[in-house]
Amino acid sequence: MIKELIVTIALGSLLGFGITGGYFAIKKNSASNNNNLPTPTPIISQSPTISITQTNDTSQLSTQNHTLSIESPENNALFSVARITVKGQTSPKSHIIVTTSQKIFTTTSDSVGNFEIDIDLESGANLVKLESISTTDEQAKTEITVTYSTAKI
Amino acid sequence: MLSFLLTLAAISTTPSPTPTTAPVTASSSEIQKIREVVSQKVMEKLKQITAPATSKLGYVAKIIQVDSASISFETSGNTQNGTFGDDLTVIDLKRNKTKLENLKIGQDVLILGIKDNQANTFEIKRIVFTNPAEIDNQHTVVLGKIVDISRSSPIFSLIPLGNKNTQYQIKTDAKTQILTQEDSTLTSSDLKSGEKIIVILVPDPKMSKTYYAKKIINLSYAPPATPTPKDQ
């Protein structure tokens, strides 16, 4: 009986100390965690810097943004007819100038920047140069080589 | 029991994960870049899906290696290979048929054939000897401002908007096409100093450092005001 009583007291003490110790440990840890939390970056204080950067970037981006790409024909395409259509994308309302070795063709891109222009190829290989001039006087250019041949391929 | 308590204590002392990243706000330029990349990828995939099984191609090339059955050539900085078709035709500079043996390393040629897009092979049907000068496109497009116009000769000076350290001496003649932005025809007398124009020019073979304007688009042109009749 005495033996059982001693065991019960010992277990009770252990349980009591354990719970009390655990409680204080949790409390201490949560306090230290609060101190280690990352400080949120004040968004408001950053805003002016961001807006200035974006303003500067906008002018650079607008230069980079004026691009010219050819959707068709593909580079090195071979045609059996002289008249072909060149399609592509650039900035809206840009002047598009397409040249072959002998001829010049001009058009304007539409309100979303798409353009389509018929050109006449010279017999044989043609270096077709495209140049786009935006409404803000930015220039972009590209070129492709296409071949016109009536030979049976 | 003790191990349970110790485990409990250990769990409670383990630091809980804390958010380490601040909320990310993408700028409009970044969103635009992402859109462009996604758009490009979609276009590439669409091209792959819709690409025909074969394509007729023509390469302006320089021969690197040639034997009786195949050829390697350099085009736009890339090396390509092709095999000769049974019906291969070789044309020399005088536009006459010639033998395959006359193909030499370093020769400038136009190579025509059919590319199998699935097998990635190129069967050559025709090889034409070429003179690279004939393919050259000497047109130059310049956006600039007229800084000086000669009244005694059809020559004016132009400074490009993109490079103010350069000046072009540009000659015009009766064949020069001069237009407004709306494609109305103008004459050389309509060009004024200070006007912004797009010029498509070629080098003048007769005069060094002078260019010949084949086409001019006058971006500054404003038609002269029509006099309004006075009310009496």
How do residues B143-184 score in pLDDT, each as one tens digit?
999 999 998 899 999 999 999 999 999 999 999 999 999 999
In a domain, A84, yes or no: yes
In a domain, A61, yes or no: no
In a domain, A51, yes or no: no
Residue pLDDT tens, chain A, 153 long: 667 767 667 666 666 666 665 565 555 544 444 444 333 333 333 333 222 223 333 323 345 689 999 999 999 999 999 999 999 999 999 999 999 999 999 999 999 999 999 999 999 999 999 999 999 999 999 999 999 999 998
Q: Which of B5, B143, B162 sits opposite A18 (nearest CB)?
A: B5
Look up residue B36 and give its amino acid: E
> Which of B 139-168 lie inside 8 A of A, CB atoms?
139, 141, 143, 161-162
Same domain as A81, residue A31: no
The minimum CA-CA distance between B93 and chain A, rounded to whole Å, is: 12
Q: In this structure, what is the dihedral angle of CA atoms A99, A104, A110, A113, given to the nearest 10 degrees? A: 20
Predicted TM-score of the model (pTM): 0.70
In a domain, A153, yes or no: no
Same domain as A137, residue A73: yes
Same domain as A122, residue A73: yes
The minimum CA-CA distance between B61 and chain A, rounded to whole Å, is: 11
Same domain as A75, residue A31: no
Q: Which of B13, B27, B135 sits opposite A25 (nearest CB)?
A: B13
Same domain as A102, residue A32: no
CB B140 within 8 A of CB B200: yes
Binary contact (B60, A145; C-beta < 8 A): yes
Same domain as A73, residue A143: yes
In a domain, A55, yes or no: no
- What percent of chain B has a predicted confidence (pLDDT) above 90? 68
Same domain as A73, residue A8: no
Question: Which domain, by its residues, includes A87?
Answer: 66-148
The DSSP code sequence of A1-56 is: -HHHHHHHHHHHHHHHHHHHHHHHHHHHHHHHHHHHSPPPP-HHHHHHHHHHHHHH
ipTM of the complex: 0.76
CB B125 within 8 A of CB B132: no
pLDDT score of B224 more than 80: no
Separation of alpha carbons B216 and B219, rounded Å: 9
pLDDT score of B186 more than 50: yes
Residue A19: list chain B partners with CB under 8 A. Answer: 5
**CATH assignment of the domain containing A108:** 2.60.40.10
The predicted-structure confidence for B79-110, as pLDDT tens digits, reads as follows 999 999 999 999 999 999 999 999 999 999 99
Same domain as A75, residue A4: no
Q: Which of B27, B112, B200 sits opposite A54 (nearest CB)?
A: B27
Rounded to an integer, the average pLDDT of B181-195 is 94
